[in-house]
Amino acid sequence: MSIATTYRTCPRSGLQFEAGAEKLIIANAVAAVVFLLIGGLLALGVALTRWPAVHWLQPDTFYQVLTAHGIDMLIFWIIFFEIAVLYFCSSTLLRCRLATPRIAWLAFALMLVGAIVNNYAVYKGGSSVMMTSYVPMMAEPSFYLGLILFAVGALVGCFVFFGTLVVAKRDKTYEGSVPLVTFGAITAAIIAVFTIASGAIILVPTWLLSLGVIDKVDPLIYRMIWWAFGHSSQQINVAAHVSIWYLVAAVVFGAKPMSERVSRGAFLLYILFLQLASAHHLLADPGLSTNWKVVNTSYFMYFAVLASMIHGLTVPGAMEVAQRQKGYTRGLYEWLRRAPWGNPTFSGVFIAIIGFGFLGGISGVMMGTEQLNMIIHNTIYVPGHFHATVVVGTTLTFMALTYYLIPTLFRREMINPGLARMQPYLFGFSMYFFCLVMMGAGTLGVSRRHWDMAFSGMPMAYEWPGAAYLMMGLVGISAVAAIAGGAIYIYVTVGSLLWGKRIDGGAASLSSKPTPLMAPAAVAQGYGSQGFAAPGTFLLAMVFLVAFILYYFVNWKYLSTVWGLS
């Protein structure tokens, strides 16, 4: 069956875009950037209030702004972008048309309406319940309704993605197995279905509760199921950004995966175990058994951590092997020194990989260790951790990918490439510092989601140590620097879309059939027989491991000094 559509082949990248899919990818990516812009403005309010010397907003505005910042960034910006990535990884990489484009537009409309309804509910007041909206604290019904509409839209988008896989398979637009990047996208979509289902299971009753239709939602059950939505949605990000790391390694270096088996196996571990992380948020809760906590918080037996440690080696490893084959073989690190550090697509991804591993990964395991969680739970260490995963890991990766998509997908020349070149460094390194000082303040016990660490006017005020104030000041300063980095990203991308010079993106095809890919030559494509192909990456991995082990046991030492608890 062929449907009237056209294809164009981008002369720069060789990617083939189907007309319908292209418009949807653009729409979702643009909506994502709009919410990143809103979330970024809100970030300024949060940062300038938590910076003790500035302490800008009033408490009611602060809690409102913090609620909207969390939802706009963690849900709307990221999931809109991920839907764009799903359509790209199916239609573009498999060289086929997008399944049911009308339904895909319906999904987009639902998501957009949901996001607007939810934002409106928060700005109107009466819904400053934070992203987590723990019952029995209630928001306006439209707060939940917005989230539900958005979730339904995203779910429909996932099924359009699955449908596109079917179209590609049926029309035989590729041979053999799907590409690794598409496999990673499938992982993300499977986790997304689980995530969104969990969200529906808990948000629909909560919405009914807010309307007065039912009279109780158990607070502990709410926490458990809400986090199957809240944490798993961050696992969609992990699967998505790791896929993009492989994609960038391929387009920047022409790198092949070191071995398909290892990388796909690691994605499979994500599918099997990543969803258990709801437990990370419940380790300090009553009512759950020790066995339940240990098994779930460790993703069964840290198998998902194992998967991330594997990707952390194989992505830079693939880059190293590709560089060595080009002749950069001197010493352990000539391949890295001679990498295209001026290309923001590469530098962004590399800064994301290192920050995600060293800052986000290690701190995540600390918080996810049952007993260590007691010295971290709900302190500002927690946002320190997830800014390292979701901002340094996911957001910076998405930014890097955008720089690649401006000429290929949007067919524009980038305005101000000089600014774009320094953007990943400014954004990435200020976020590194931001996460570190936040975790430092959290180690001293400073609370998250708290308007006034000075407890002004309270007779029982607790006086935090001076170092905690210093750290929170540094949090404010580094946040402002990072927000400037985010602003540059928005300026460059939106500016390029509006004013960038149009470039030739390849003519539309006359036929509505895709041009099939020439069958790849059957050459050995892994490096299994080469011995020790990526020694530099291996050394980096060992440095990571040593840092991990030291920090892990430092935390146990710290725990051993606190009150006895049993």
Residues in 308-337 at the binding interface with other proteins, rule: CB under 8 A: 309-310, 313-314, 317-318
**CB 491 to other proteins: min, Å:** 29
177 binds other proteins (CB under 8 A): yes
305 binds other proteins (CB under 8 A): yes
The residue count for the chain: 566
Q: How far is CA 44 from CA 18, 40, 56, 66, 165, in A?
A: 39, 7, 10, 10, 41
Q: Scan residues 124-153 and list those touching other proteins (CB under 8 A).
A: 128-130, 134, 136-137
451 binds other proteins (CB under 8 A): yes
Nearer to other proteins, 38 or 266 (CB): 266
259 binds other proteins (CB under 8 A): yes
From 1, 4, 102, 176, residue interacting with other proteins (rule: CB under 8 A): 176
Nearer to other proteins, 3 or 331 (CB): 331
Nearer to other proteins, 20 or 383 (CB): 383
256 binds other proteins (CB under 8 A): yes
Nearer to other proteins, 79 or 180 (CB): 180
Q: Scan residues 454-473 and list those touching other proteins (CB under 8 A).
A: 455, 458-462, 464-465
Nearer to other proteins, 61 or 100 (CB): 61
274 binds other proteins (CB under 8 A): no
Q: Scan residues 83-112 and list those touching other proteins (CB under 8 A).
A: 93
| Burial of 26 (C-beta count, 10 Å sphere; 0-12/13-18/19+) | middle
Query: Could you give the count of Cα atoms lying within 13 Å of 429 in the half-sphere of its Cβ?
Result: 5
Nearer to other proteins, 100 or 259 (CB): 259
Size of the site for other proteins (CB under 8 A): 119
Binding range to other proteins, per CB under 8 A, among 106-114, 253-261, 352-360, 499-507 = 253-261
288: its two tokens? 């759950």
Angle of helix 101-124 relative to helix 141-170, nearest 10 degrees, comes to 160
Q: Quick check: 322 and 306 in contact, CB under 8 A?
A: no
**CB 552 to other proteins: min, Å:** 8
Q: Quick check: 6 and 505 in contact, CB under 8 A?
A: no
Please say whether the dihedral angle defined by the alpha carbons of residues 539, 541, 542 and 543, taken in this order, is positive or negative: positive
From 104, 251, 353, 396, residue interacting with other proteins (rule: CB under 8 A): 251
Q: Which residue in the block uniquely carries the two structure tokens 């491991």?
A: 545
Tell me the one-letter amino acid at 25: I
Tell me the one-letter amino acid at 191: I
The strand pairing partners of 412, in sequence order, are 502
- The interface mask with other proteins, positions 362-401, x = CB under 8 A, is ---x---xxx--xxxxxx----------------------
Report how far residue 478's alpha carbon sits from residue 420's, in angstroms, rounded to the nearest whole number: 19
**CB 12 to other proteins: min, Å:** 13
46 binds other proteins (CB under 8 A): no
**CB 374 to other proteins: min, Å:** 6
Cis peptide before 520 (omega within 30 of 0): no
215 binds other proteins (CB under 8 A): no
Nearer to other proteins, 142 or 173 (CB): 173
The DSSP H or E segment spanning 72 is none
Q: Scan residues 221-240 and list those touching other proteins (CB under 8 A).
A: 223
272 binds other proteins (CB under 8 A): no
Residue 340, Cβ neighbours under 10 Å: how many?
A: 12
Binding range to other proteins, per CB under 8 A, among 206-214, 394-402, 433-441, 541-549 = 541-549
3 state DSSP class of 71? helix
From 60, 109, 123, 170, residue interacting with other proteins (rule: CB under 8 A): 60
The strand pairing partners of 277, in sequence order, are none
For 553: left if phi > 0, alpha if psi spans -120 to 50, otherwise beta; the answer is alpha
Q: Which of 388, 285, 235 is nearest to 380 (CA)?
A: 388
504 binds other proteins (CB under 8 A): no
Nearer to other proteins, 202 or 431 (CB): 202
Q: Quick check: 431 and 355 in contact, CB under 8 A?
A: yes
Report how far residue 276's alpha carbon sits from residue 283's, in angstroms, rounded to the nearest whole number: 13
520 binds other proteins (CB under 8 A): yes
257 binds other proteins (CB under 8 A): yes
Nearer to other proteins, 374 or 497 (CB): 374
Nearer to other proteins, 499 or 553 (CB): 553
3 state DSSP class of 322? helix
133: its two tokens? 């909206």
